[in-house]
Structure 1
Amino acid sequence: MTIALDATLSRRTLLAGLASTSALLLAGCATTARPSAPVEPLRPIVPPDVAMMYGPLPLEDFPIPAADVSLMAPRFWRQEVENITGQPQHTVVVDTANFVLYWTMPNGRAMRYGVGLGRAGFEWSGEGHIAYKRKWPVWTPPAEMILRQPEIEKYRHGQPPGLDNALGARALYIHQGQKDTLYRIHGTMDVPTIGKAVSSGCVRLLFHDVIDLHDRVIPGSKIVVI
């Protein structure tokens, strides 16, 4: 009887010990678990040739720093591609659905740039032409923009050129016939806004890209915004 009782007690003790151990393990899981930290999106590795393309431009009238293009998707980096626009050479084509701009070239090729576009209510589409272009332009905001943003009243007669100028390093002016549309293709230093709709209607390229485009475009060239 004593041996049987001891065996029974031993089994009970073992089972109780296992139950306690399990409870401790479960308690340990409950107390040591931590909510997952938000995972930041991985930045693309920028190849050396792309980094060089967006490197500093110290010889500009206002020296331009390098652009950190790891902050935007690689598809928005400047590159020569096949001309898929259906437009003849020497045409600016803005594909608003994909946030890219093409400058069509000979032999079925095109230079493609990532762009930022106008937010809802400020979009523009249609056909026109590049009437003229400017290096380090003066920005004069339209009167209706000043009404919406009274803080820019100080620029009613023009914002001087510079890195902080709203048009940036270069501007291309879009006309329809003899009429100024008031829409521009111009520069920005705000890399994360490329590929987004946040502006007051203008088409914005990184400084490096708008300089490249400016040097290619011929005044009078057709522009198509789709």
Structure 2
Amino acid sequence: MRQYELIERVKAYDPTADEAILNRAYVYAMRMHGSQLRASGDPYFAHPIEVAGILTDYRLDTATICTALLHDVIEDTPVTRKDIDEMFGEEIGELVEGVTKLSRLELNADHIRQAENLRKFILAISRDVRVLMVKLADRLHNMRTLNFLSKQAKRERIARETLDIYAPLARSIGCHRICSELEELAFEHLNPTARDAIVKRLER
């Protein structure tokens, strides 16, 4: 998605959106991620753009769209929370830091009780639901591109984590469409044979 296309999508539901800060966040994140690549071979910056695009479908505010564009810069580049605050203000800085904290959690959902406790913990530390929305959109795009990861064990771990933690979180805050897609994508990787059989049956 090009810069102007993202701005147009936001302006379509929020005519008063601050174009200047959206443009600044777009350019800044693109510059910071530089030559980084995804497992697919695509430029890394394609990922935050897609995350931002997902959130425009939910008509999220300008600060959240900026956060989506910037959500990996603290974790994956030399950028600090202070840098974000100075460039974009404390609201966006706090949101980006919140997403970073969620990303750093070591998720291990081998047991249902463990997964339930972790969901409660994530909800507790996500004081602003916008942090959780960005994280869910981040997970959704990562699941859409999961097939590019070469190691099957890692794909299955991420799919299980998605099914046990992120899909229920999406459901708990009313994002049923994200929940359904996360479940479907996770199922594809955890039980591809059964999934293919269901698809063939439905196509008859």
Larger RCO (CA under 8 A, 6+ residues apart):
1
Normalising to structure 1: TM-score of the pair?
0.25
Which structure carries more strand by proportion? 1
